[in-house]
Structure 1
Amino acid sequence: MGGDILFLAHRLPFPPDRGDRIRSAHVLRALAEIAPVHVGCFVDDDANRAFEGELAALAASTCVITRRKPLPLAGVEAVLKARPISLAAYADARLSAWVQEKLASGRFAAVFVFSGQMGQFVPQSWQGRLVVDLCDVDSAKFEAYARNARGPMARIHAREGRLLAQVEAALAARADHTLLISEAEAALFASRAPQARSIQVMGNGIDADYFAPDTVKPAAGMVGAGPHLLFTGQMDYPPNVAAVVCMARRILPLVQRDVPGAQFHIVGRAPSAEVRALANIPGCTVHGAVADMRPYLAAADAVVAPLAIARGVQNKVLEAMAMARPIVLSAEAATGIAAEHGVHFAIGGDDAHFAAQIVKLLVNPPVARAMGANARRFVTENQSWPAMLAGMPAFLGMDREEARSAA
């Protein structure tokens, strides 16, 4: 089946420097190899538009909208229309008109929706192929937020989870294929959306040539007294915030009791006020955004990921594994990665157990080095992006050569 592809994403895929953009950038590149691809997406601010050139180099046409709707306004719209806030936040007449115009041309064979928020732009009249990449089950994430919140926020999160679950299920009932990031997420979604036509797993990959321990020098800010522990991620994202607060305030003191020089480094953009306050804790440094995460990974004696809420596969874990770092992580953060505890990473339980797993690595460098080497070997053999995306033509019902020649 020949024809163009329409790709809709809630964020411009470039630069691929955070989990969703890494996945969407690789998906977009794979789509562009199959057929001409037209991209509709949002940017959070005008500064992000600096990366439109990378998008234009791949896409046959684009519609990039700066998302300026304040969250309170999105909340009011959501209440008035009985829909999730996360959909109201992305509702945009300009993008909707662009999508309608494109699909009316008759040249499109498939629509690829990246993230559930973007399904609202696919008209009910669309009869072509529809593939939806939910990545993970967002509604379940909001349900988890509700369980961990109190007062009005608990009710807001519960409402969001309930309404978003309905949207996800309805979208999956329309889609030829709904993609999830792991077997666990796929099984969870299947239990919540029995009307889904086809639920498939498309895992996250890793560029092991880019994330390689011999490609960069260790970051100067992490060289010297230590050992050094590292957490990476978007630092205004609530699960990441909760993880580093737990690490700095509860786990780090336990580690320092046995390894007095242990230092904890938090690296990632947009640290919240709660995260910035952790810099007042002895041995804790908040670095904020950095141009390249690899030097910090290279400098780390161990990487930690004590996430209590973690949906899908954690790119931060795959990146650390590719950089041959020993990792201590929660069972939640290990979800979707078919690696072995004690061989490729160490899974920690409660605070004391998590700290003990870290100490075990810090006081035994040969064991830590062996774990890092095993981790890199695992991702190079099992988690390459080409392997993860190999099923893309089949999902779209398109053959690369047929689609390109038809275009």
Structure 2
Amino acid sequence: MTLSVVSSYLPIPLDRGDPVRVAMVLRALAQVPDCTLLVVRRPDTTADQEEQLREMLHPMRVRTFEATPFRYDRLGPPGRYSQALTSGLPPWVRSRYSADLHDELRRRDGAAIALGEAAGAYVHGTGLRWHWDKANVLAASVRQEIEAAGDLTYRLRARYLTAVSTRFERRALASCATVSVTSADEAERLRRHHDRAATFVLPSCVPLPSGHQPRPQERELVWLGSFAYEPNLTGLRRFLAEGWPALARAGYTLTLIGSGLTAPVRAELDRHPGVRVRGYVEDLRGALANARAGVVPLWSGAGVKLKTLTLLAHAVPVFTTAVGAEGVPASPAVRIAADPTAMAAELLATTSTALDTMAAEATRLVGQEFSEDRFAERLRTALAADGYLAERGATGAEPAR
């Protein structure tokens, strides 16, 4: 069977959660016979990064494509938004769309897997049998941004994106034979918003970092996430305003790590006492080695959070919210608080001995429940059961609930 796998962006570098999940899926499928990856280059993708991807996925065939430029890009957002609306795609999906890649898919037969939300743009007009692996249910996640909007302009933009994203998602789902989501909560959102049952649940996973040597320092905290993702930045700002003052007075420091940092955001965050803004770090092992605990202050967002799993994989105890812990089994490695004040109080009350216990449990949890081997086993078994792979692999796919 011919299998086409589609990603709307090259998953290297692993600079945020979505590329981590895409890379995990691709590594799990790398040895599948007659499998081809069709992927859109990012604007700053280099030849070295393409070669790195090919080496990582050998012997899988890899074909790269350029995104199709907006026809009216010179007009700025009005030109991009109008063209995106005409094409039925959210603007951020249209910015990753390649007409050449879509044409190639129309010439192919067999089965196909769309990785991530933007890849849903390719499921129409082909003769392929599609599976859509979704990081989140757009109809639910973008609607949360309306509730978080602080001013009228942002609220109107959020309403527009909610409408166009929900319509795009519903149309793409109608052309997909099967669909997977990252958590049981996401499966319920898919049912509630689209009256569609998830074919299976595939929790996001992260590899345990090879050679990582934790050297936790007392009162050193860390935040990890993309600064370009609005729910991350909104949650961080709320934590800094409401929870951080008590921790700063107690002598804590907080290091902020992640991609998408702009100069204005850096200047804003630098004003908080005890906060160190690092931005993107390619190798997290050194950056997280001294962290005593991590904070994941999220009050919106969907699915299993790669930032939470990444911290746990590096033996960093996590203090978060119910949103930040979605899809993670109840564990001593994770403490959940309802608001920033409660999160800060929980941190201040946790002893050094308790943090040591949490750190040990963190790596055990990831190794047993969220390992790369377990992810690959679940994925290949589920895809084989649904007819996308010629032979059934190891057992262990987690059914939708």
> Are 2:85 and 2:164, in contact at CA under 8 Å, matched by a contact in 1?
no
Aligned to 1:274: 265
| 79-88 vs 151-160, which moves further | 79-88
Aligned to 1:11: 9
- Measured at CA, do residues 68 and 46 of structure 1 come closer, stay the same or move farther in structure 2, by a change above 3 Å? farther
Q: Provide the TM-score with structure 1 as the length reference.
A: 0.86
Q: Provide the TM-score with structure 2 as the length reference.
A: 0.87
Q: Which amino acid is the alignment partner of residue 233 of structure 1?
A: G
Percent of residue pairs bearing the same amino acid type: 23
Q: CA deviation at 1:238?
A: 1.1
Aligned to 2:398: none
- Whether 1:354 aligns to 2:314 is no
- Whether 1:395 aligns to 2:383 is yes
User: Where in structure 2 are the equivalents of 1:3-402 lying within 5 Å?
Assistant: 3-57=1-55, 58=57, 59-66=60-67, 69=70, 70=73, 72=77, 73-81=79-87, 83-101=89-107, 103=108, 108-126=109-127, 128-149=128-149, 150-194=151-195, 196=196, 198-208=198-208, 210=209, 215-216=212-213, 227-257=219-249, 259=250, 261-272=251-262, 273-340=264-331, 343-361=332-350, 364-393=351-380, 394-395=382-383, 397-399=387-389
- Measured at CA, do residues 236 and 339 of structure 1 come closer, stay the same or move farther in structure 2, by a change above 3 Å? same
Aligned residues between the structures: 380
> Are 1:33 and 1:400, in contact at CA under 8 Å, matched by a contact in 2?
no
SS state at 2:31 partner? helix
CA distance in 1, matches of 2:16, 2:47: 16
CA distance in 1, matches of 2:202, 2:46: 27
CA distance in 1, matches of 2:319, 2:277: 19
Q: Which amino acid is the alignment partner of residue 332 of structure 1?
A: V
SS state at 1:339 partner? coil
Q: CA RMSD in A?
A: 2.4
Q: 5+ residue gaps in structure 2?
A: 394-401
What per-residue deviation string (whole Å, max 9, x for no partner) do you get for residues 162-194 of structure 1? 222222223223322111010001111111112
Q: CA deviation at 1:245?
A: 1.8
What per-residue deviation string (whole Å, max 9, x for no partner) do you get for residues 139-160 of structure 1? 3221111122232321222122
- Measured at CA, do residues 148 and 30 of structure 1 come closer, stay the same or move farther in structure 2, by a change above 3 Å? same
Q: CA deviation at 1:6?
A: 0.9
- Measured at CA, do residues 166 and 293 of structure 1 come closer, stay the same or move farther in structure 2, by a change above 3 Å? same
CA distance in 2, matches of 1:91, 1:400: 30
Q: 5+ residue gaps in structure 1?
A: none
